[in-house]
Structure 1
Amino acid sequence: MKRRGLLASAVLLAPLAVKAQTTYPTKPVRLMVGANAGGGTDIVARMLADKFAEQLKGTFLVENKPGASNTIAADLTAKAPADGHTLLVATNTGQAIAPHLLKLSFDPIKDLTPIGLVVSVPNVLVVGASVPVNSVQELIAQMKAKPGEFKYGSSGVGSTQHIAGEAFDMAAGVKGVHVPYKGSAQAHLDIIAGNVQMMFDTTSSAMGQIKAGKFKALAVTSDRRSSELPDVPTLIEAGLPGFDMATWYAVYVTAGSPPDVVARLQAELARAVALSDVQAKLRGLGGEPGNMSVEQFARFNAQEYERFGRLIRDANIKPD
C-alpha cells in the first residue's frame, strides 16, 4: 500500500489514555537523537520531549549522539535497559537505509519497538538558479545529452538525498555524479556557486534557498504535492511512475520494554501529534503530520526497511 493510502485512511486510533500497571516514568527518560542539535530530528525530539513532560508529568531529556548515519543513537537505544526509559527519535536514514550499508551490532527491526510516526517530509528536486533547465523533462534531456556532467549533492552516503538521487537515475535512465557532504548546508553553498548542479533535499532544508531564488524547484519526490510548494509537480506527475521518496521521523523504544509502558507511550505520542500547535510546527517543517495507527506504522516500518534494501542492492550502492 502506498504511503498516501496509509496516511489518508488511517486515524489516530491509539487511545488517548492508557492506564499503566505501574507508574511511568519512574526516572528521567532519555530521547536519543542520531544527529546534531538544531537539525530536523533534534527539533522534533525537543518538541516531543516538552509534550511528553507535560502529559506524563516526568523528565524527558534529549541526548544528541550523531555519527554513523544516525545509528549510534539507535545502537544505544537497542542496548539500553528494556524499561521504556530510553527512546529513539529517528529517521529512515538510520532505520531503513544505513542498516543495509553498515555492519551494525543490533537489528533495527528486532531490537527496537516502533512507537509511532511523527511526520513525513517530502524531498524536493532542486537545481541551481544558473542551471538552464526549468522542468524535470528538460533536466533529463540535458543529463542524457551530457552524461557525467551533472552532479548532485547530498548530506552523505546513505542519506535519503543520496538514495533519491540513485532512484532518479534508475527511473530516468540517466547517470548523475554523487557528491556527498557532511550536511545539506555545505551542499547548498556549492550549488549556489555552480560547482554542483542539483540536489534532492528536504523541503524544510531547501525552502529558504527556493524562496530566495537561489534554487529552482523542479519536483517533489513524494506521491503527492507538498502544501509548502503547491505549484511544484511530483516526479510521478513529471513522468516517473511510482517515484515516492520522503524523509520520515518516528519514535522507537528498546525492544522488550513492558507492554503497558509501550502502550502508554504509543497513546501519548498519538495525543501529542494531534495537538494543534504540534501540527502547526510539523507543517512548518514542510511535512505532513503522522496519522497512522500503531499497527499501520509497524507494517510501514518493516516495508520501508525492505524497500530501501532493494533500492540499495539494485543501485549497487556501497559505503565509502
Structure 2
Amino acid sequence: MEIALNCFTQIVRQGMALTLAFGALIPAMDAARAAEWPTKPVRILVGAPPGGTADIVARLIAHELETPLGQTVIVDYKPGAGGSIAVQSMLSSLRDGYTFLLIQKGIVSEVPHVVKAPYDPFKDIVPIAQLTRSSLILVGNPGLPAKNLGELVTYAKAKPGKLDYANFGVGTRGQTMGVQFNRLAGLDVGNVNYKGSPPALQDVMGGQVPLMFDGPATSMPFIKAGKLRAYAVASPKRMAALPNVPTFTELGYPDLQDVSWMGIWSASGVPPAVIAKMRDATLKVTQSPALRPKLEQMGMEPGSLATTEELSKDARESYERQGKLLRSINFTPD
C-alpha cells in the first residue's frame, strides 16, 4: 500500500512538473509567434457599409499597410448596429493578431448610448492607433435661398418647425451637432434619422431634407461638384480642401467645434508584441508625407501619435460629454 502511494505521489509530481514546464513554454511560444507576425493576410473589419467615410479610409489605409506588414490586408465589411456587429465579429475571432477593426471613436463614445451591446466597449476593445482626424460640415441643398450661415439662421428662424436636418445615425454627432446648433442659434429645426451618410446625402441633394451635418470624406465630392452648399465647418481652423468655408468659431459659434478621429482597434488579449507591431506599421503609414495630401483632399488630417492610453482617455471623455448632451434632450433610442 505504501509503495503504491509513493508511486502515485511520484506520478502526480511528475505530471505537475510537466504542466508547469509546458505553462512556462506558452509565453515563449507566444513571443515566437509574435516575432514572426504576420505570416498570413491581415483582416480589417469595417463597421460601416461601403460608400461612407470608414470605407474610403479603410481602402486607402489597407493598401498602404501592405508595405510595412509585408502581407495582404483584406477589408471586410460588417455594417449594422452602429458598428457593434463588427465589434462582435472581431471579439469572436481568434486573438492572434489577424483580425482588427477600423472605426470611428464613436463606437465607444456614441454607440453605447444607443445600442445595448453584449460587450464592454472600454474593456473588450482597445484603440491601437489614430488614423485620421476630421470635423463635421454643415451642408445644405443648393436650392436653399440662404447663401451663408447668417442668412441660413435668418431663413430658419422665419420658418420655425418647417425645416429639418438629416443625420447619419441615431445618437451620433450628426444628430447632436444639430441639437447644439438649434440651441445656440435659437432655431427650431427638426431631425431626420438615416442609416449612414450616403442615403442621407442623397435626400439632401434631392431636396427631401434641406440640411445635414456630415463628414468631409463623403460630402466633399458633392460640395466641389456644386451639388451641396457648405455653410461652415466645426474644425478649429479652416479645412485645406475648403479654404473659403469659414469655421463656426469665426461666425460666432465657438461651442460648435468638434474633432473626432478614426482608428485601428483590437480585441483585448491579443499579444502585446503584435499590438506594438501593428501600431508601428500604422503610424508609419499615417505619418507618411505621401498620405497627407490624399487625406487633405477629403477634408481630413493624418492621425496624431497619441498613445493607446491617451486615445482611451479621450474616448471616455467624449462618451461622458455625449451622454450628458443626449440626456439633456431626453434622448431615448428608437
Whole-Å separation in 1 of the counterparts to 2:303 and 2:161: 38
In 2 relative to 1, CA 238–78 (structure 1 residues): closer, same or farther, beyond 3 Å? farther
Shift in Å at residue 315 of structure 1? 2.8
Aligned to 1:28: 41
Whole-Å separation in 2 of the counterparts to 1:260 and 1:214: 47
Whole-Å separation in 1 of the counterparts to 2:46 and 2:77: 5
Whole-Å separation in 2 of the counterparts to 1:28 and 1:166: 43
- CA displacement 1:141-193 (0-9 Å, x = unmatched): 33333211111112232333222212222332322111123343333333334
Unaligned 5+ residue runs, structure 2?
A: 1-31
Unaligned 5+ residue runs, structure 1?
A: 1-18
2:171 to 158, 179, 200: 158
Give the TM-score, by structure 1 length: 0.86
Whole-Å separation in 2 of the counterparts to 1:28 and 1:208: 32
Does 2:146 match 1:126? no
Please tell me the residue identity of whatever aligns with 1:252: W
What SS is found at the alignment partner of 2:156?
helix
8 Å contact from structure 2 (residues 114, 171) kept in 1: yes
Aligned to 1:305: 319
2:188 to 175, 185, 192: 175
Whole-Å separation in 2 of the counterparts to 1:223 and 1:309: 23
Q: Which has the larger radius of gyration?
A: 2
Does 2:209 match 1:190? no
What SS is found at the alignment partner of 1:303?
helix
Please tell me the residue identity of whatever aligns with 1:305: Y
Does 2:111 match 1:87? no
1:273 to 286, 295, 299: 286
Instruction: Choose between structure 1 and 2: higher helix proportion.
Output: 2
Identity %: 36
8 Å contact from structure 1 (residues 20, 264) kept in 2: no
Does 2:333 match 1:319? yes
Whole-Å separation in 2 of the counterparts to 1:57 and 1:189: 39
Whole-Å separation in 1 of the counterparts to 2:167 and 2:54: 17
Whole-Å separation in 1 of the counterparts to 2:198 and 2:63: 27
Aligned to 1:75: 88
Shift in Å at residue 308 of structure 1? 2.0
Shift in Å at residue 300 of structure 1? 2.0
2:230 to 189, 192, 217: 217
Aligned to 2:252: 239
Whole-Å separation in 2 of the counterparts to 1:189 and 1:63: 25
Whole-Å separation in 1 of the counterparts to 2:291 and 2:225: 27
Of residues 275-284 and 196-205 in structure 1, the stretch that sits farther from structure 2 once superposed is 275-284
What SS is found at the alignment partner of 1:312?
helix
Please tell me the residue identity of whatever aligns with 1:288: E
Of residues 182-191 and 97-106 in structure 1, the stretch that sits farther from structure 2 once superposed is 182-191
8 Å contact from structure 2 (residues 51, 198) kept in 1: no
Whole-Å separation in 1 of the counterparts to 2:270 and 2:67: 22
Shift in Å at residue 278 of structure 1? 2.2
Looking at both structures, which has the greater relative contact order when contacts are Cα pairs under 8 Å and sequence separation is at least 6? 1
What SS is found at the alignment partner of 2:262?
strand
Shift in Å at residue 27 of structure 1? 4.0
What SS is found at the alignment partner of 2:143?
coil
Shift in Å at residue 65 of structure 1? 0.4
Please tell me the residue identity of whatever aligns with 2:195: K
Shift in Å at residue 26 of structure 1? 4.1
- CA displacement 1:24-52 (0-9 Å, x = unmatched): 12443221111123432123223332333
Whole-Å separation in 1 of the counterparts to 2:327 and 2:310: 26
- CA displacement 1:180-236 (0-9 Å, x = unmatched): 233433333333343322111122222233223332211001222111111211112
